[in-house]
Amino acid sequence: MPSSRHFFIAGTDTDVGKTLVACGLLRAAAAKGLRTLAIKPVAAGSEQTVDGLRNQDAVMLMAAMTEVLPYQQVNPVLLEPPIAPHIAAEQASRRISVSQLTGVCRGVMLKPADFILIEGAGGWRVPLNRQEFLSGLAVELQAPVILVVGMKLGCINHALLTAEAIRADGLRIAGWVANRIDPEMLCFEENLSSLKALLDVPCVGIIPYLGFADRDGSDVARFLNVSIL
């Protein structure tokens, strides 16, 4: 594993399994004896719990990482409605900026850990406000990207456009994960083979369709190879 110990988890779209893959990576890294941390800088969608409003993705990350952080550091910006973050922020009269998120993430990244994940929201070009995108955070952090590809019809186009945008932003794609989100996808192996050739970066893992069998990443971990990152 190279000296870069932090990675940005990006997806080809929303609901492609970024959090599940992130949890799997955290558990796979922990199995190798690494101390792990994760950050969900912006989350839209929350539930009321005994501890207050919580985002399920952030809670899952906290359960999967080895080190302990307060919720507010794992998920510094929590927006209640499950809609686009910039719209939710506008409705709540809040402003989210890349510089604000960068400061919080860098604070966490100073903590002792061997493997740190920063999970995005939605796809690569999710707006934070009328001028900035969440992808700008990955650029500021100079974080290598792990791309989660939701395997379904259209995934090749989505993956290649996302990879093109990541590279245009000057970032390295450390690897990609194929996550089968459509159990009925036709020509799965052919699509997988095309993606391997066209993306031309290491495939960290191929996750079969698991449905709701794995909600914490423990099963996903066995399909992932963190050693190649």
Domains observed in the chain: 6-228 (3.40.50.300)
Mean pLDDT of 108-133: 95
Q: What is the pTM of this model?
A: 0.95
Kindly report the average pLDDT of the chain as a whole number.
94
User: 62-71, 107-116, 210-219: which has the minimum mean pLDDT?
Assistant: 210-219
DSSP assignments along 67-119, one per residue: S---HHHH-SEEESSSS-HHHHHHHTT----HHHHHHHHHHHHTSS-SEEEEE
Report the Cα 114 to chain-centroid distance in Å.
Answer: 17
Cα–Cα distance between 221 and 26 in angstroms, integer? 8
Q: How confident is the model at residue 217 (pLDDT cuts 50, 70, 90)?
A: confident
Predicted confidence band of residue 3 (pLDDT cuts 50, 70, 90):
very low
Nearest-angstrom CA–CA distance, 31 and 222: 10
- Per-residue pLDDT at 76: 96
Lowest mean pLDDT among 6-15, 124-133, 216-225: 216-225
- Residues involved in catalysis: 40
Average pLDDT over residues 146-168: 98
| Longest Cα separation, the chain | 48
Strands (E), 128-202: 145-151, 173-180
- CB 182 within 8 Å of CB 153: yes
